Structure 1
Amino acid sequence: MNKYIIYSLFATPLLNISCNKFLAVDPPKTEVAAASAFSDEKTATATVGGLYTSMNNYNNQFASGLMSIVLSSLADDYNSAFTSYDEYKYNKLSPATSYLDRLWSQPYSYINHSNKIIEGVEASALSSTVKAQLSAEARFTRVFNYFYLSNLFNKVPLITDTKDLEANNRKGPASREELYAFMVDDLQKAAVDIADAYQGNERTRPNRKAVDALLARVYLYHGDWANAEAMADKVIADNRYELSRDLNTVFLKTSKEAIWQLQSVNLSTAGVNTWEGFSIVPAVATARSYYQVYDATVAAYEENDLRKTMWLKPYVVSNKTLYMPYKYKLRTGAPVTEYNTVLRLAEQYLIRAEARLNQNKLPAALQDINQIRERAGLAALPQTMDKAGIALALEKERQLELLGEWGHRWFDLVRTNRALPVLSKVKTDFSESDIKIPIASAILITNANLQQND
């Protein structure tokens, strides 16, 4: 059992949502009283570690594979043969669709956990250095969850403390601008306080460059091209990170490309390395997978693209060759060698490329795209390409490089207004209304001030 789990400030709900309070969470029997949780550095640090544990301790939860699976199905990355995901695959979401409640309630439980940490650290007698580090990690994780909530559901309540649970449960949605300003401010504060060095020998606790990497993404999504480029620059310039030339090493726990990873805790299933690997990789090597990369996406790979060779795996069903995502290659295995990779260097090159493109720095944008292509074994794109051509090339590289990771493809298509023209060619009856993700009915009844997406 992970040493952090006993210090979690509250349990992360799997499905159970109070019928009248979406923030109500029952405390676990192993909970450490709030006052003692921050009485010394070791206990306080373990409490923060419990936050990361709660995000990755059971299968098919928000941060342990679920979001990647459902958003890959909504887009054109890969889909599942399991009928519980059909409404995502066919883009027929309703407020009653399975798992939608988890995509809301679980990030809010992590935000509540982060808020408790920030308040507990501030009120403690810990040293200023420890206070700064732990508060910064909690701010980073709080923004990470708000980033996904805001991009999934557009307008969501902004809750930054635990002082009045009833008031928090009655809060209406913040505007996109309010959420964006909050995320930037919180990450800037975290960047000042967090250590640049990793805490420990692994990359499972965020450092300064993890903050910069997330800030680069936030800036990009808001169209702040200059700041997105500047933040990505900082990460790319750090020699601790490098594009792994062997694609089979990118998602290992020792990967030099990793900026931030989550470690599976294996509370329910022995030998799990990552929950995505556990879900997607068959128990028997010769068996079929129940996850299939969309045919149109398989066809998008150029000849000799190493990403198709290394990150997809063929299997046969009814004499037809299908492909499953294969970035994580282990269903189970000991010792653990793979960690859930949340932030990695390749994304920063693609962020910088998009930021440069939108500042009309075309040669520099191509240079970044070509770094990713050349690592994949492909020829560099010519410097004669115009802006529109580079934009399409970048869209394709983001699709193939980040396939199946954390909903990147869905968010990219939505934020660039490309969902309708792209997905209507892949899916039957895909329409403008399919772009919005509804809030689950179980969530809406908890707060009369919440608003359903149009």
Structure 2
Amino acid sequence: MKKYTLLFAVFLQLLFVGCEELIEVDLPTTQINTSIVYTDAATAKAALAHLYSSTRDDSFVNGGMYGIGFMTGIYTDELTSYLGDSHNLNAFYHNQILATNSAVSKLWDSSYKTIYAINIFIENMRNNSAISKEDQNTMIGEALFLRALHYYYLTIVFGDIPYATTTDYALNKSLNRTSITQVLRNNQHDLEEALILLKETYRNQEYIYPNQYAAKLLLARQFAEMKEWDHVQQEVNSIIQSPLYTLRNEPQEVFNKSYKGVIWQLNPDVSLKSTFEADLYNSTSFPPSSASLSPHIMEKFEATDLRKIQWIKTVSNPTSTYYLPFKYKNKNGENTTEYSNVMRIEEAYFLLAEAYIHQGNINAGIEFINQIRERSGLSKINTIRSKEEAIDWLLEEKEKEFFSEFGHRFIDLKRNNRLNQLQLIKPNWKSFHNVLPLPQKELLLNPNLNPQNEGY
């Protein structure tokens, strides 16, 4: 018990040392006694659990209001926001974000704080003689995956960003920005090492820790951003062919934690606690307390689409009807079946479809989209006349599949050069909105981060 009390104290120190984020971390007032944490596998796994909890609670893949799913949902055309004028996310909905916006700073700060903690963890786990090689490999592999995940979302949202893998605070405070391509190449290096260190099987039956296939899917996402479609195809083919995963016939099964299409999920911190997604969207007020699905997306659903029937909740009063994301249904204190599914097999199907289409094999790509449509109770897409039409189908079907999930809509439109289509729906949309501004306070603290992103 004394060891775990010390561990908790050490990580409280780590949390506060990193709270000014990686780029402006000052000298700690007290030294972190890392030897306490890394003396055996149990305490090291507890330290790694801290990284997972930070990722779940305070990162891009948080399923709540300050995660990428909600923020880009109201930023693009997925969600209609009902937030008050004074709310810091209201600027996202109206596409009038300033570099001083506190929500922008929160995304940046929380990500770099966790990256700093990940870097400490990796530094102390490498060449650690106190822990078995098997445990050491697994934990380093998972930490490399988490670091790549954070940097992936940072560069998707902010463009060129500072990149660091050390805990040298003097160096980190004066970093220049690294190009998007180089960040993704750095991530590729991390993920390729993770593929060597991780196993195909999971170290927990609930898939709450990434395995090789989670690393492959994140690697495939990055290859898609770099238009390396042959590499996308290679990674996702191995996922789809794995006996670990199955595309089930009923959409209602997808958000059950035991769904056989889950590749990686995050569990709530307390037993029976609802997911952040359930808390955010399951509103009973008029209008909803946060957001509803936009008319733009609702008009795309066919009446027989099982996703419309099973994943969307309708709330009405005599004058209005609202359509709410209802993928996660369990209330707080009653949740025995739902975790937040960050990665699932359907994404692999869509990435493979996209790879085939961009390589000119349109029919093969459409066939993978059709498998999702048939699972959703819909007929197959038949004749496709062009690559552009195939991409239109891909984006529409993926929008209906992944609405409110982890920024898929924003990422897909951006990758396929379709973001400016939002000008038809979002009157304040500008071409430079493909990235957010860097937080103004970061530019003041570190002038090497200049210039500010174009348009801001």
CA distance in structure 1 between the partners assigned to 2:318 and 2:112 by the alignment: 43
Structure 1 position 26, deviation (Å):
7.6
CA distance in structure 1 between the partners assigned to 2:418 and 2:175 by the alignment: 32
Q: Is the 8 A contact 2:24 2:169 kept in 1?
A: no
Counterpart among 227, 234, 253 of residue 230 in structure 1: 234
Q: What residue is the counterpart of 1:108 in the other structure?
A: 112
Q: What residue is the counterpart of 1:213 in the other structure?
A: 217
Q: SS in structure 2 opposite 1:99? A: helix
CA distance in structure 2 between the partners assigned to 1:249 and 1:103 by the alignment: 31
Q: What residue is the counterpart of 2:188 in the other structure?
A: 184
Q: Is the 8 A contact 2:82 2:287 kept in 1?
A: no
Matched, 1:194 2:198: yes
CA distance in structure 2 between the partners assigned to 1:98 and 1:33 by the alignment: 33
Q: What residue is the counterpart of 1:251 in the other structure?
A: 255
Matched, 1:90 2:94: yes
Q: What residue is the counterpart of 1:155 in the other structure?
A: 160
Structure 1 position 10, deviation (Å):
5.7
Q: Is the 8 A contact 2:62 2:276 kept in 1?
A: no
Q: SS in structure 1 opposite 2:341? A: strand
Q: What residue is the counterpart of 1:366 in the other structure?
A: 366
CA distance in structure 1 between the partners assigned to 2:400 and 2:46 by the alignment: 37
Matched, 1:342 2:324: no
Q: Is the 8 A contact 1:9 1:32 kept in 2?
A: no
Structure 1 position 183, deviation (Å):
1.1
Q: SS in structure 1 opposite 2:424? A: coil
Structure 1 position 362, deviation (Å):
1.6
Q: What residue is the counterpart of 1:382 in the other structure?
A: 382
CA distance 1:301–1:152, shift in 2 (3 Å): same
Gaps of 5+ in 2: none
Q: What residue is the counterpart of 2:443 in the other structure?
A: 444
Q: What residue is the counterpart of 1:174 in the other structure?
A: 178
CA distance in structure 1 between the partners assigned to 2:314 and 2:39 by the alignment: 53
Structure 1 position 334, deviation (Å):
2.7
Q: SS in structure 2 opposite 1:445? A: helix
Task: Using the TM superposition, name which of 233-242 and 440-449 deviates more.
Answer: 440-449
Q: What residue is the counterpart of 2:354 in the other structure?
A: 354
Q: What are the Cα deviations for residues 134-163 of structure 1, in whole angstroms up to 9, with x where unaligned? A: 11111010000000001110011110111x
TM-score by length of 1: 0.90
TM-score by length of 2: 0.90
Q: What residue is the counterpart of 1:138 in the other structure?
A: 143
Q: Quick one: which amino acid aligns to residue 181 of structure 2?
A: E
Q: Quick one: which amino acid aligns to residue 246 of structure 1?
A: E
CA distance 1:61–1:347, shift in 2 (3 Å): closer
Q: Quick one: which amino acid aligns to residue 441 of structure 1?
A: Q
Structure 1 position 429, deviation (Å):
3.4
CA distance 1:442–1:170, shift in 2 (3 Å): same
Counterpart among 119, 123, 129 of residue 119 in structure 1: 123
Structure 1 position 285, deviation (Å):
9.0
CA distance 1:316–1:98, shift in 2 (3 Å): farther
CA distance in structure 1 between the partners assigned to 2:436 and 2:448 by the alignment: 18
Task: Using the TM superposition, name which of 143-152 and 388-397 deviates more.
Answer: 388-397
Q: Quick one: which amino acid aligns to residue 386 of structure 1?
A: S
Structure 1 position 62, deviation (Å):
6.0
CA distance 1:273–1:361, shift in 2 (3 Å): same
CA distance in structure 2 between the partners assigned to 1:412 and 1:321 by the alignment: 29
Matches within 5 A, 1:19-98: 22-23=24-25, 33-57=33-57, 63-65=62-64, 66=66, 67-83=68-84, 84=87, 85-98=89-102
Matched, 1:303 2:307: no
Task: Using the TM superposition, name which of 60-69 and 321-330 deviates more.
Answer: 60-69
CA distance in structure 2 between the partners assigned to 1:201 and 1:26 by the alignment: 39
Q: Number of residues paired by the alignment?
A: 442
Structure 1 position 299, deviation (Å):
0.7
Q: Quick one: which amino acid aligns to residue 440 of structure 1?
A: P
CA distance 1:174–1:405, shift in 2 (3 Å): same
Q: What residue is the counterpart of 2:275 in the other structure?
A: 274
Q: What RMSD over aligned residues (CA atoms) do the two structures have, in Å?
A: 2.7
Structure 1 position 335, deviation (Å):
4.5
Q: Is the 8 A contact 2:118 2:143 kept in 1?
A: yes
Gaps of 5+ in 1: none
CA distance in structure 2 between the partners assigned to 1:129 and 1:271 by the alignment: 32
CA distance in structure 1 between the partners assigned to 2:335 and 2:303 by the alignment: 35
Q: What are the Cα deviations for residues 187-222 of structure 1, in whole angstroms up to 9, with x where unaligned? A: 111101111110022111000111111111111111
CA distance in structure 2 between the partners assigned to 1:333 and 1:313 by the alignment: 21
CA distance in structure 2 between the partners assigned to 1:216 and 1:434 by the alignment: 25
Q: Is the 8 A contact 1:25 1:109 kept in 2?
A: no
